[in-house]
Structure 1
Amino acid sequence: MTKDVIALTPEMPDLNTLLAGLYAGGPDLSVNTTADGAVVQLCSPDGRPLVSVEAPILVQVPGETARLLDCAVADGPVWWTEARASTAVAEAGRLAGSFAGRLATVLGGTVWPPEAATTDVVPLTTDISAVPVPATATPAVDVLTTTTAVVIQDRPLVPLTNWLSDALRTATAADRALQIVTPPATRLTLPTRTALRGLPNRWVVQHPEHGYYDGLSGAVLHWKDGTFTPVRGENGTARAAEAFKTVTDTGERQLLLALRTRHPADADLVLGRALETAYHHLTDGPPTGWSTAEPVNLPWSTRQLTDLARSRAPQPTLLIAIGHPDRPALATLRILRTPAGVEEDITLALGYAEDETPPLDSIEPLAAVLAAEHGLTTLLTSLRAARRDLTVPPHVEAPPIPVALTVGHDEIESIGRTRAEHPPLGLTPTKLGHPAEHAVHYTFGDGTNPQAWTTLHQLTRHRKQA
């Protein structure tokens, strides 16, 4: 049974309803709060946390609950209350299910996963004195060593929830790796994949036949010195697990945009407009929602996300944006204050089925608008064979193939206009915008020829030459 249980209710659980749910363990268990009251914990008599419940979130974005729970659920605004059970106590999973079941019963909602729902009182029978005292106060972390925070997730899709965001921040601050352990059928959302970027953070897949392996690189892993690390051969190299090599081509594709902008830091600046423009060009509408974690719960608002980024400056702000469920489109937006101004580092992924055509002819018009109106620095567009739903499976995926590169006016000035406009390899760039302040757009192909990588690397070296 999964250790994460979610109650989806049409009404916000009030204090009395939460307490009724927390009575799932009977009168012998106690209630505690942590994270400045944002997390309520059901604890054993000696104070050890058994179930941690995060503050309810109102999800107002169409299709978001179905996307993250990977199943059919009622659409529309819904309160998402997530409970995470301790993996150290056998009864904790059933306690979480009873808590969620009680909320759903009182408020007329549903429970995910459905089989976890119950309203039974779950007595604590485990000998708590034999259970090690948890070394961490972070609810998401199951195992903590001097070098690594391990999170165990047994769910079809692992989103970048507030649980995981908090675990990542805490691990990073303590100079620890964050490693997520899942079964082989689990997938990651793109924000979770982005959060795990960079070793020693890892996605650890526990396969019943192939043991442990890295879900992103395929390297066979073992537990050594308090962390998951690659098994090295005599020559010092790691090998890939056989399960990681298995892949089936479904004809699905993803269009990927890596977009950077720079703006003067003034009081009238509104952020997110470059991303909004990209959505309009590629999906015929703006993003439907944004948030700092998943589920993406807030209706799209450039003004609100700007206010949030301004309140956090000079610290960077990382945001997630989602599109309409009819056209899978998911973006991460990193906002950073620098001496040059305010910079946006955006990655946008859009998914297409085998019978759908990615809108490559929209890239150049989009680049022209971004360069003229939104402070474009660079825009790299790529295409790759990957899942339409934008989730990340634990097997090898083909790398993206570059389609086009656009370089904005200010970047061209730093490179040198002559060098930017006369690249090697016979490339003929297109000038976008006003002749005196134009951007340069290079086209490499339709995303099917891997040779485009060589062309891009040579162009990059050419741009960097003195």
Structure 2
Amino acid sequence: MTKDVIALTPKMPDLPTLLAGLYAGGPDLGVNTLADGAVVQLCAPDGRPLVSVETPVLVQVPGETARLLGSEGSEASEGGEGGGHDGPVWWTEARASTAVAEAGRLAGSFAGRLVTVLGGAVWPPEAATTEVVPLTTDITAVPVPATATPAVDVLTPSTAVVIQDRPLVPMSSWLSDALRTAADNDRAVQIVTPPGARLTLATRTALRGLPNRWVVRDPEDGYYDGLSGAVLHWKGGTFTPVRDAHGDARLAGAFGAVTGANERQLLLTLRTRHPADPDLVLGRSLETACTRLTGRPPAGWSTAEPVNLPWSTRQVTDLARSRAPRPTWLIAVGHPDRPLLATLRVLRTPAGVEEDITLTLGYGDEEAPPLDAVEGLAAELDAEHGLVTLLTALRQGRRDLTVPAHAEPPPTPVTLTVGRTEADRIRRPPAPVPTPVRLGPGHRGPLHYRLGQDGEAWEQVRVLVGGLGTAES
């Protein structure tokens, strides 16, 4: 049974339409709001939430519905009055409680009623109905949820468990809220998915670091960690590795099932630093990198998926200023013909304003990653955007940049560039490293290192970063 249902409509769902959708459970159910009205909940007579509905989002970025929902999302955005794959579409997402059997059907009926009035389509298509779904479950036998966070299905003193029964798990605003709330309360977030599910790269990045986990249900091993492969069990209110008599974790058999597709990813990890100037415009480092590598700036940006806003360095800057001195984290995507996803973290430090950027691009069997453009990019970032470091790497991985629940080879570093300010302070490396070249005119440009192969390259990166006058993460 589907837990998440999405209505894709060419028109914005107004209040009367939303209320008509919420009437899917009949007159006995109630309505509640959370987050200053940003979330509307369809509730049982005793007040416990059955379906939570987020404020509709206008997705203006071409290809975004297809990226997150696959061919069904592409067809949905193309269909209906005013649709079109490249045109805007209103994305209204409903999340059903996993504790009540009728909740999934209620979410489908809510979305189906929106589409009946406004046109468009429901994802997944089989969830769409317009029937009234009576509540037959004995609510008094259902435990009262311990959390008001809509994305969380199970809450313990140590862990917030999020159950996702969808093929691709995005970094939705639901999930972002769960991660933020859990971190504030010293809890882990553990996402549970069926076998065959994948994560978006943004979700993978946000989930980084134990005790957060991606928990995959497996018919043979029960559960395993989708990122490490360790077989897991539920113990003490959290998923932990099953250990043998020697204390070692066992790898799930499904984790070793690596596909042989000859697809690659180009990864760039870069940091820039700027004086805290009132006229500073953020996002230009990322824009420069995307333009150098793809010929175009990013297509869109947002603080969650779906990425809904057309790319704008001014809007990125305004958001970061409004949140300062707290850090700002956001996502950017490329155009449909070139898989590209970036995360940007803006933070205020004693040295100025720093941008930490990860940029990943996907390439098929017959496509060559533009490694010859990296030196020019590094020189431009250093000359105009305050480059601190730029690490470039290649890895075998899916062209669509999604993360499967099986082993993937680690990336291999190709080059490391140290910006001129950092290069002037670099200490003599304690071990042999490649001889760098100076980029740009004169003898005071950034230091550019062409690294060795395989394990040797990572050791060279470790030695070079260790030789910097300031610690790099």
TM-score normalised to structure 2 length: 0.95
Q: Which residue of structure 1 lines up, in the alignment, with residue 144 of structure 2? A: 133
Q: Which residue of structure 2 lines up, in the alignment, with residue 438 of structure 1? A: 445
5 Å-filtered alignment, 1:201-212, equals: 201-212=212-223
Q: Which amino acid in 1 is paired with 2:328?
A: T
5 Å-filtered alignment, 1:176-215, equals: 176-215=187-226
SS at match of 1:366: helix
Q: Which residue of structure 1 lines up, in the alignment, with residue 464 of structure 2? A: 459
SS at match of 2:380: helix
Q: Which residue of structure 2 lines up, in the alignment, with residue 268 of structure 1? A: 279
Deviates more, 1:231-240 or 1:1-10: 231-240
Q: Which amino acid in 2 is paired with 1:52?
A: S
1:343 to 351, 354, 357: 354
Q: Which residue of structure 2 lines up, in the alignment, with residue 425 of structure 1? A: 432
Deviates more, 1:73-82 or 1:56-65: 73-82
Q: Which residue of structure 1 lines up, in the alignment, with residue 378 of structure 2? A: 367
- Identical counterparts, % of pairs: 75
SS at match of 2:403: coil
8 Å contact from structure 1 (residues 371, 433) kept in 2: no
1:37 aligns with 2:48: no
5 Å-filtered alignment, 1:312-351, equals: 312-351=323-362
1:59 aligns with 2:64: no
8 Å contact from structure 1 (residues 178, 202) kept in 2: yes
Report the CA distance between 1:365 and its aligned residue. 0.7
8 Å contact from structure 1 (residues 13, 107) kept in 2: yes
CA distance in 1, matches of 2:155, 2:301: 32
8 Å contact from structure 2 (residues 267, 358) kept in 1: yes
Q: Which amino acid in 1 is paired with 2:158?
A: T
5 Å-filtered alignment, 1:46-445, equals: 46-71=46-71, 72-73=74-75, 74=78, 75=85, 76-416=87-427, 419=428, 425=432, 427-435=434-442, 437-444=444-451
Report the CA distance between 1:237 and its aligned residue. 1.4
Q: Which residue of structure 2 lines up, in the alignment, with residue 9 of structure 1? A: 9
SS at match of 1:233: coil
CA distance in 2, matches of 1:432, 1:109: 52
Q: Which string of whole-angstrom CA distances, capped at 9 and with x for unpartnered residues, describes residues 62-116 of structure 1? A: 0000000122332120000000000000000000000000001100110000000
Q: Which amino acid in 1 is paired with 2:56?
A: P
CA distance in 2, matches of 1:355, 1:434: 35
CA distance in 2, matches of 1:463, 1:111: 53
Report the CA distance between 1:146 and its aligned residue. 0.5
Q: Which amino acid in 2 is paired with 1:224?
A: K
Q: Which amino acid in 2 is paired with 1:56?
A: P
8 Å contact from structure 1 (residues 424, 462) kept in 2: no
Report the CA distance between 1:456 and its aligned residue. 2.6
8 Å contact from structure 2 (residues 425, 469) kept in 1: no
CA distance in 2, matches of 1:459, 1:128: 61
8 Å contact from structure 1 (residues 260, 378) kept in 2: yes
SS at match of 1:70: helix
Report the CA distance between 1:463 and its aligned residue. 4.6
8 Å contact from structure 2 (residues 113, 130) kept in 1: yes
Q: Which string of whole-angstrom CA distances, capped at 9 and with x for unpartnered residues, describes residues 30-71 of structure 1? A: 111011100000001111100000000000000000000122
SS at match of 2:37: coil
TM-score normalised to structure 1 length: 0.96
CA distance in 2, matches of 1:197, 1:90: 32
CA distance in 2, matches of 1:346, 1:164: 21
Q: Which amino acid in 2 is paired with 1:308?
A: L
CA distance in 2, matches of 1:202, 1:164: 13
Q: Which residue of structure 1 lines up, in the alignment, with residue 82 of structure 2? A: none
Structure 1 residues 319 and 426, CA, compared in 2 at 3 Å: closer, same or farther? closer
Report the CA distance between 1:458 and its aligned residue. 3.5
CA RMSD of aligned residues (A): 1.5
SS at match of 1:414: coil
Q: Which string of whole-angstrom CA distances, capped at 9 and with x for unpartnered residues, describes residues 161-220 of structure 1? A: 000000011111111000000011110001100111111000000112221000000011
8 Å contact from structure 1 (residues 424, 459) kept in 2: no
Q: Which residue of structure 2 lines up, in the alignment, with residue 18 of structure 1? A: 18
Q: Which amino acid in 1 is paired with 2:5?
A: V
Q: Which amino acid in 1 is paired with 2:39?
A: V
8 Å contact from structure 1 (residues 383, 401) kept in 2: yes
Q: Which amino acid in 1 is paired with 2:41?
A: Q
Give structure 2 stretches of 5+ with no counterpart. 79-84
CA distance in 1, matches of 2:434, 2:468: 13
SS at match of 1:206: strand
Report the CA distance between 1:427 and its aligned residue. 1.7
Report the CA distance between 1:432 and its aligned residue. 1.3
CA distance in 2, matches of 1:465, 1:29: 59
8 Å contact from structure 1 (residues 179, 202) kept in 2: yes
Deviates more, 1:70-79 or 1:15-24: 70-79
Q: Which string of whole-angstrom CA distances, capped at 9 and with x for unpartnered residues, describes residues 366-424 of structure 1? A: 101001111000000000000000000000010000000000011112225xx37xx95
Q: Which string of whole-angstrom CA distances, capped at 9 and with x for unpartnered residues, describes residues 316-342 of structure 1? A: 000100000100000000000011000
Q: Which string of whole-angstrom CA distances, capped at 9 and with x for unpartnered residues, describes residues 129-151 of structure 1? A: 00000000000000000100000
Report the CA distance between 1:464 and its aligned residue. 6.5
Q: Which amino acid in 2 is paired with 1:189?
A: T
SS at match of 2:243: coil
Q: Which amino acid in 2 is paired with 1:425?
A: P
Deviates more, 1:383-392 or 1:407-416: 407-416
CA distance in 1, matches of 2:96, 2:218: 22
8 Å contact from structure 1 (residues 70, 156) kept in 2: no
CA distance in 1, matches of 2:322, 2:149: 25
